[in-house]
Amino acid sequence: MIVIGADTHKRTHALAAVAGATGARVGERTIRAEDAGHLAALRWARELDPERVWALEDCRHVSRRLEQALLAAGERVIRVAPKLMGGSRRGEREPGKSDQIDALAVAHAVLRHGIERFPAAFLDERALEIRLLADHRDDLVAERTRAQNRLRWHLIDLCPDLEAALPARSLDRPAQLDRVARRLRRCPPSARVRVARELLARVRQLTHDANALESELRALVRAQRPRLLQETGCGALLAAALIGRTAGAERFATDAKFARQTGTAPIPASSGARHRHRLHRGGDRQLNRALHIIAITRAAHDPTTRAYLDRKLAEGKTRPEALRCLKRHLARRFHRLLTEAPTRSDERPDTINAVVWAPCLT
């Protein structure tokens, strides 16, 4: 068996094949990032070994077309986190950096950690659509925040009393925007007033676009995974993050592997006679953020969750440790929700508060 590491770019992909048993290099090639290049890569790989695994650095903006072509051809493809490349490249005997060295580092990282420990590539076009729209909404919200901050700076000079009276994070509300617009209409014409009005119009437009995307995402989530929206603390945006960032929960064979991806799997942090675990700082931080928001929302509004956290605190755990246990349970639950086949029961209210918490790792 061979492992073929791929360092992907916009125009070209560098490939390096190593023997699965020894790690010795058995071939390397650079292909064009187009259909003809993908076909050439398949022909080249089939000549090297009938049993092979493709290891693609997980940069899906540039590796998606290659991944699609390989999966369509029936190839086995796994995704490798980019952060593994630095340590792997430093361990290479060959100094320097090039595309071929990086491709070789991808293959060696897979051999070092074990092929089975990496998530298999899985194409989920609906999840990709949700992720793209969710990321676009995040960009719009970030752009709106910048426009709001610039507008506030201009209001400090034009209407300091109004700016001081505006509540924090209120410039996306129509009532507050109308209030600012009325005040600006009474100001004498000037370049600063003109800029403030243009920023105000920009904030309105970005707010409208962001709200429209949120409604669209809610409809997409309801069509794909309606039970997520019935979960306490999981709204349309968090559900979209879970679906889009997971990119096909079927690629995680167990909830433990999904928990590792979300950064909620416990890591040993024992020393001497003290035995404990701590929160994992790796994984997809956007997935981790979504589960964290759900956890603190449930802690505030769900009596079952509050009782669970109180029980963990009574056992001697700190608040962060108790939240870590809760997030690990949430990873298990949402992995099941993301992988189960939709049924008619999805239309009924979910009995989330009746969930029985299993003992967590201590």
pTM equals 0.76
Q: Which helix (H) or strand (E) holds 348?
A: none
DSSP code of 232? Answer: T
Cα–Cα distance measured from residue 75 to residue 54, given in angstroms and rounded to the nearest whole number: 8
Same domain as 236, residue 329: yes
Residues 244 and 328 in one domain: yes
Secondary structure (DSSP) of 64-104: HHHHHHHHHTT--EEEE-THHHHHHHHT-SS-S--HHHHHH
What is the distance, to the nearest Å, from the Cα of residue 277 to the centroid of all Cα atoms in its chain? 24
- The Cα 100–Cα 279 span in angstroms is 35
Tell me which of 58, 88, 117 is where a domain ends.
Answer: 117
- Residue 89: what pLDDT? 54
Measured in degrees and rounded to the nearest 5, phi and psi for residue 263 equal 75, 25
**313 within some domain:** yes
Q: Where are the alpha helices (DSSP H) in 186-318?
A: 191-224, 236-246, 255-262, 285-301, 303-314
pLDDT, tens only, 276-302? 777 777 788 899 999 999 999 999 999
360 lies in some domain: no
Domain identity same for 70 and 101: yes
Domain boundary pick from 224, 241, 262 = 224
| Token couple for 357 | 């918490």
Inside any domain, residue 308: yes
**Residues shown for the chain:** 362
What's residue 92's pLDDT? 57
Q: Which two tokens stand for residue 101?
A: 């060295």
> What residue type is 221 in one-letter code?
V
* 346 and 250 in a common domain: yes
Angle of the 319-339 helix axis to the 285-301 helix axis, nearest 10? 110
Give yes or no: residues 150 and 165 share one domain.
yes
For the beta sheet containing 52-57, the strands, ordered from the edge strand earlier in sequence to the opposite edge, are: 25-32, 12-19, 2-8, 52-57, 77-80
| pLDDT given at position 115 | 84
Asked if residue 338 belongs to a domain, the reply is: yes
Q: Is residue 75 part of a domain?
A: yes
Each residue's pLDDT tens digit in the chain (362 positions)? 999 999 888 899 999 999 988 888 999 999 999 999 999 999 999 999 999 999 988 776 788 888 889 988 889 998 887 766 655 555 555 666 788 888 888 888 888 888 887 877 776 788 889 999 999 999 999 999 999 999 999 999 999 999 999 999 999 999 999 999 999 999 999 999 999 999 999 999 999 999 999 999 999 999 999 999 999 999 999 999 999 988 888 888 889 889 988 989 888 877 877 777 777 777 888 999 999 999 999 999 999 999 999 999 999 888 988 998 999 999 999 999 998 876 544 443 333 333 333 333 33
Q: Which of 175, 191, 224 marks a domain boundary? A: 224
Q: Is 359 within a domain?
A: no
12-19 and 2-8 beta bridge pairing: antiparallel
Structural domains counted in the chain = 3
Q: Which two tokens stand for residue 12?
A: 């070209």
CATH number of the domain to which 54 belongs? 3.30.420.10
The answer to whether residues 272 and 346 belong to one domain is yes
257 plus 180 within the same structural domain: no
Single-letter amino acid code for the residue at 303: P
Q: Are residues 147 and 203 in the same domain?
A: yes
Q: 265 with 315: CB under 8 angstroms?
A: no
DSSP code at position 63: H
Which pLDDT belongs to residue 355?
A: 34
The answer on 299 and 324 residing in a single domain is: yes
CA distances, 279 to each of 274, 284, 312 (Å): 16, 13, 15
In a domain, 361, yes or no: no
The range of the structural domain enclosing residue 248 comes to 226-354
Closest residue by Cα to residue 9 from 69, 62, 53: 62
On whether both 57 and 79 belong to a single domain, the answer is: yes
Pair 68, 182 in one domain: no
| Structure-block tokens of residue 81 | 């986190």
User: Phi then psi for 115, rounded to 5 degrees?
Assistant: -60, -40
Residues 204 and 242 in one domain: no
Which amino acid would we find at residue 198?
A: E
- Work out whether strand 52-57 and strand 77-80 pair parallel, antiparallel, or are unpaired: parallel
d(CA 215, CA 10): 33
